[in-house]
Copies of this chain bind each other. A is one copy, B any other.
Amino acid sequence: MKIKKEVTIYDLAKELNYSPSTISRALNNHKSISKKTIKLIKEAAAGMGYRPNNLAAGLRNNKSNTIGVLISRINRPFMASLISGIEETARKAGYNVLISQSNDMYENEVSNCNALYDSRITGLIVSLSMETVDMAHFQKFIDQGIPIVFVDRVPDNFNSYKVVIDNYTAGYSATKHLIDQGCTRIAHFAGAQHRNIYEERKKGYLDALRESGLPIRDELIIHFKTLSFEEGNKATKKLLKMPEPPDGIFSANDTAAVSAIMCAKKMGVEVPQELAVIGFNDDPIASIMQPSLSTVSHPASKMGAISAKRILNHSGQNYDADLTEITVLGTEIIVRDSSLKRTRMLRSKTS
């Protein structure tokens, strides 16, 4: 297979009897080039199949019009939506998106971080791995003035842009909702407590209980490692076998909540009558399963878009100037069947 010679600005220069400088300026709409010349050059460029070489431009400018994304896993509904939001916003501004997943391992996060750095990305968007505690691998970006936006799973000992939801309020509201439904023994599926999103959700849970005068029972608070389906299954089985089982569960994610509901069904415990459940994330599954899962909705795609705008804004594009350092987005309690004790008679199509 023969490889066609690529067309460069030098080829254009020779063809049109201009200098490469003029070609470059024309293609970038530089003001010191006449409109006529610009039009001429652009048409010739298109005609000859010229395509800019981002590597060359990037080398010269020491940046690549590329946003790097560093997350735990792509194939999770929240993450996929987040990336989608990032990509859409970046693309509109002419930026590319480099992705990498850590699989929640610190070591991978570090090496991916380096790989993205080596590509001279314009900015970095990060959702921390479960394991990450030390933040040293991010320092080199700061040293180079490369903006970092932490999303969702953010550090609290590192100063940078952050885009988060109000996890405390969300946790509080979710728990309050269960209390309003008449639950008095509410369990909590808590995530890893060194990730502050889970810490905040738990705090909200605790405060809601306190405020309502309900006792806090340690045996009803289960600390998960990954909030997986399997973990949820185990935890639920254990809870429901207790002499005084819980009558409600607030899970820090939907996956574990779903497993709880399915486990309860298997054990003959009726949801929501005997056990009300509310999850977190509003995964697609939540609205489809039976009973449909009450949950807290995350504006994932929007968070991605905002994060991307942060990067673009930082590079002086002033894309959306009224963004603050830390962006806190609101959440929404989505009430579905899995938590509806009180109004059950009115809407339940289950059982």
Chain A positions near chain B (C-beta within 8 angstroms): 1, 3-4, 6, 49, 51-56, 58-59, 62, 64, 66, 73-77, 79-81, 83-84, 87-88, 91, 94, 96-101, 112, 114-120, 140, 142-145, 258, 262, 265-266, 284-285, 288-290, 301, 349
Minimal Cβ-Cβ distance residue in B for A88 = B101
Question: Is A91 a contact partner of B112 (Cβ separation < 8 A)?
Answer: yes
What is the CB-to-nearest-CB distance from A313 to chain B, in angstroms, rounded to a whole number?
16
Given contacts A87-B101, A97-B100, A284-B284, 10 further A-B contacts (CB under 8 A): A3-B144, A4-B143, A51-B140, A52-B118, A55-B59, A75-B77, A75-B301, A79-B80, A96-B116, A98-B98
What is the CB-to-nearest-CB distance from A219 to chain B, in angstroms, rounded to a whole number?
28
* Residues of B with C-beta under 8 A to A290: 289-290
* Residues of B with C-beta under 8 A to A81: 75
Cα(A120)–Cα(B117), bound, Å: 18
**Known pairs A80-B75, A87-B100, A144-B4; A288 contacts B114 (CB<8 A):** no
Question: Is B120 a contact partner of A54 (Cβ separation < 8 A)?
Answer: yes
**Known pairs A59-B59, A118-B51, A145-B3; A74 contacts B64 (CB<8 A):** no
Question: Is B87 a contact partner of A80 (Cβ separation < 8 A)?
Answer: no
* Residues of B with C-beta under 8 A to A79: 80
Question: Is B75 a contact partner of A258 (Cβ separation < 8 A)?
Answer: no
* Residues of B with C-beta under 8 A to A118: 51-54
Question: Is B117 a contact partner of A99 (Cβ separation < 8 A)?
Answer: no
Q: Can you give 15 contacting A-B residue pairs, CB < 8 Å?
A: A6-B144, A55-B62, A64-B119, A66-B119, A75-B81, A80-B80, A88-B101, A91-B100, A91-B112, A96-B98, A97-B98, A262-B288, A265-B349, A289-B290, A290-B290
* Residues of B with C-beta under 8 A to A262: 288
Top 8 A-B pairs ranked by shortest CB distance? A290-B290, A75-B80, A55-B58, A80-B80, A55-B59, A4-B143, A74-B84, A75-B84
Greatest chain B CB density within 10 A among A52, A84, A99, A290 is at A99
* Residues of B with C-beta under 8 A to A258: 288
* Residues of B with C-beta under 8 A to A349: 265-266
Cα(A143)–Cα(B96), bound, Å: 23
* Residues of B with C-beta under 8 A to A74: 74, 80, 83-84, 87
Greatest chain B CB density within 10 A among A79, A119, A265 is at A119
Minimal Cβ-Cβ distance residue in B for A144 = B3
Cα(A258)–Cα(B290), bound, Å: 12
* Residues of B with C-beta under 8 A to A1: 142, 145
Cα(A190)–Cα(B49), bound, Å: 39
